[in-house]
Amino acid sequence: MKKKPFIPEIWQYVFDSCSLINIEQREGVRTLERRKGAILITERVKYEVAEDPRIRQTDPLRQFVLRNPELVTRFKDNEEEEYLRILSQQGINSGEASGMAIALKRNLPLVIDERDTKATGKAKNHGIRTLSWKDFIEGKISRNNISYAKTESRNR
Amino acid sequence: MMNSSESKESRIIGVQLCKARELLQMTPREVAHEINVTPQEVVAWEKEESRPNLTQLEEMAELYGREIDYFLRQTPTPPENIEFRGKTGQSLKDLSKEARIVLVRLDELCRTALEFESLLNRRPPVKLPHFKETDPPKTVAQDMRREFGLKDEPIPDLKNRLEDEGVRIFELPVPEDAFSGFSFWHAEYGPCILLNATEKPKGRRNFTLAHELAHLVYTHGSSLCYIPIKLGESHPGLEYIANQVAIELLLPELGVVGDFRKRNLSRTPSEKDLAPIAYKKWGVSIQAFGYRLENVGLIEKGHINSLFETEPPFRRLKKGPRPPRFERELGKRLVETSFEAYQKGLISIGKLAHGLDITIRDALKEIEKRSK
């Protein structure tokens, strides 16, 4: 497949591993490819979906993430601190905590498995706007409400 | 709603750093060398006089075989004063780092189980009996068989029965066959047993399970044991006692004698004669079964050792699909607790995957499979 150039979208979303897997499984990796400019993942999520040695080399999501290093964002300023603070709570893992920290500090929406009440509940408690992978695909979130995302795309 | 920007700095708990290092029997100097800092810095972090940055914390987590959250929350102290009854002349310090990491993994699994149970607000009761040092192994084994409602028949599902009694049982691969099993009573985790999953055939692990159970009911302390395939070469003292309990528990004299006579076997039976009885019926290795037969005078002394110069060939008896690795390693109790905690929305999918030591994709598949 010919690689499309990476152009960050104005509206960006932080993803957890589960949402990426769900989109890849149900909609195919092409959907991710089409919307890649809107996707931000943390290094920890990258590990969970692409670098974990238990993941097959031929896994399409793994290949997508490795093909598009621009998706991965590193912690900045006080995001590390926020990550550790969220991680110190029970019931969530490091991938989800890292996504929450970045979504919170950069004021970005977090795409998270909606069945996942623990992580979703925690994210909401922190004031993070959350949406499910289906909402992301259907573009349910109102763009008027997330104008702050524009700043993020410049900061990447 | 919580305003996180107003909250305090997260705390990296020095005691947790110290506990993680000590379980691996590493010195601050060794840690410092591995992560490229000074020993003084490692000590200062443990005393909370300064704190590592995230990269250093991640390096330590990898070195210690822990997740980062281990350093952010107070957790129970791992088993202490471990007595190592291994191969002759070996001490705990002689174990490779890979073998010691298995103990870390065990501690992580116990911690995970405890965390999920506390989220579910449920703590299974421990019904395991205690015996005095002076109680003879035969009496101990007979009492336990009575508890299980058994007379002289084989125990078909010892692992499940013990899990129901409140024992945490895990089967993890131990590199280099460094030890067979490990058992300890813990103030918070309760009674725990680790079995070396690489020991084949499965009957050997069943024997190790009964052996470690003996250490628990006698409260022998944290025991890390190497059980040789030739039982006669076991460590003396407590190991001998634990072997005797295991033999009496798994191979009751009356049952074994009756079974042997019914089959009309000679005093020098072949491996082919013994294998179906040992593996299939009594769930032990041929060596353990033969040792018992020699013990009660049914076959000639030394016959079993002469049958096998080395270990017997591994035979897989059950055909058909095996349960997934995480079910074999973690046992039904932790697996059920994990899925229940997830279904009730108490843990995230990432946490479930981590608890079961599988990828998030595999966790999603398992959830889908279970929901059908």
Residue B216 contacts residue B167 (beta carbons within 8 Å): yes
The 10s digit of each residue's pLDDT in B114-165 is 999 999 998 889 989 999 999 999 999 999 999 889 989 999 889 999 999 9
User: What tokens appear for B280 in the block?
Assistant: 């299939």
Cα–Cα–Cα angle for B285, B288, B291, rounded to 5 degrees = 145
| Mutation for A interface: B2, B351, B361, most A CBs within 10 A | B361
The minimal CB distance from B349 to the residues A75, A85, A116 is found for A116
pTM of the prediction? Answer: 0.87
Q: Which residue, chain included where needed, has tokens 């989109």? A: A23
Backbone phi and psi for residue A108, each to the nearest 5 degrees, phi listed first: -110, 155
Using CA atoms, how far residue A34 sits from A39, A40, A71, A110, A132, in Å, is: 10, 14, 13, 19, 18
Determine the Cα–Cα distance for residues B368 and B346; give it in Å rounded to an integer: 18
Q: Do B12 and A121 touch (CB under 8 A)?
A: no
Give the pLDDT confidence score for residue B261 in this predicted structure. Answer: 86
Average pLDDT, chain B: 88
Q: How confident is the model at residue A79 (pLDDT cuts 50, 70, 90)?
A: very high
Determine the average pLDDT of the residues in A77-105.
91
Given a contact cutoff of 8 angstroms between Cβ atoms, the answer to whether B234 and B243 are in contact is: yes
Across the interface, which of A25, A55, A87 has its CB nearest the CB of B359? A55
The pLDDT-based confidence of A115 (bands split at 50, 70, 90) is: low
C-alpha closest to that of B87 among B197, B230, B260: B230
Comparing CA positions, the residue from B248, B243, B214 lying closest to residue B230 is B243
Q: For residue A90, give the nearest of B53, B115, B361 by CB distance.
A: B115
Distance from CA of A88 to the nearest CA of B (A): 5
Which of A118, A128, A129 best probes binding to B when mutated, by most B CB atoms within 10 angstroms?
Answer: A118
Q: Which residue of A has its CA nearest to B345?
A: A117
In whole angstroms, give the CA distance from residue A36 to residue A71: 7
A61, A80, A90: residue with CB nearest B119: A90
Q: How far, in Å, CA of B155 to CA of B206, rounded?
A: 10
Torsion-angle region of residue B316: left (phi > 0), alpha (psi -120 to 50) or beta? beta
Q: Which residue of B has its CA nearest to A51?
A: B359
Please give the radius of gyration of chain B, using alpha carbons only, rounded to the nearest integer. Answer: 23
Continuous segment of H or E residues that includes residue A40: strand A39-42
Structure confidence at residue B4 as a pLDDT band (50, 70, 90): very low
Q: In this prediction, what percent of chain B has a pLDDT beyond 90? A: 57
Contacts of B111 (CB under 8 A, 6+ apart): B70, B75, B76
Chain B residue whose CA is closest to A88: B72
Q: How many helices (H) and strands (E) does chain B have?
A: 16, 5
> CA nearest A50 in B: which residue?
B359
The answer to whether B73 contacts A48, with C-beta atoms less than 8 Å apart, is no
Per-residue confidence at B81, pLDDT binned at 50, 70, 90?
confident
Each residue's pLDDT tens digit, A31-48: 999 999 999 999 999 999
CB atoms within 10 A of CB B89: 6
Nearest to B350 among A81, A90, A95 (CB): A95
Residue A68 pLDDT greater than 70, yes or no: yes
Q: Are B221 and B133 in contact (CB under 8 A)?
A: no
Per the CB < 8 Å rule, is B4 touching A104? yes
What pLDDT score was predicted for residue A6?
A: 67
**CB distance from A107 to chain B under 8 Å?**
no
Residue A9 distance to chain B (closest CA, Å): 27
Mean pLDDT of A51-67: 96
A116 interface with B at CB cutoff 8 Å: yes
d(CA B52, CA B37): 10
Of B328, B333, B326, B329, whose CA–CA distance to B123 is shortest? B333
Q: Return d(Cα A143, Cα B102) in angstroms, integer.
A: 50
* Mean pLDDT computed over B248-260: 92
pLDDT the model gives residue B2 = 41
Give which of A93, A117, A122 to mutate to test B binding, by max B Cβ within 10 Å.
A93
Instruction: Report pLDDT for A11.
Output: 78
Residue B352 CB partners (closer than 8 Å, separation 6+): B338, B339, B341, B342, B363, B367
Q: Which residues contact B143 (CB under 8 A, 6 or more apart)?
A: B129, B131
> What would the two tokens of residue B231 be?
């039982």
At a CB cut-off of 8 Å and minimum separation 6, what does B323 contact?
none
The minimal CB distance from B349 to the residues A84, A88, A113 is found for A113
ipTM for this model? 0.84
Percent of chain A whose pLDDT exceeds 90: 57
Residue A2, pLDDT > 80, answer: no
Non-local (6+) Cβ contacts of A16 within 8 A are: A45, A95, A96, A99, A110, A111, A112, A113, A119, B350
Residue A55 and residue B361: Cβ atoms within 8 Å? Answer: yes
A95 contacts in chain B (CB < 8 Å): 350, 360
CA distance linking residue B94 with residue B226, whole number of Å: 13
Q: In the 8-state DSSP scheme, what is residue A144? A: G
DSSP B341-365: HHHTTSS-HHHHHHHHT--HHHHHH
pLDDT in tens, B285-336: 888 888 889 888 888 888 887 777 655 555 555 566 778 889 989 988 899 9
d(CA B25, CA A77): 36
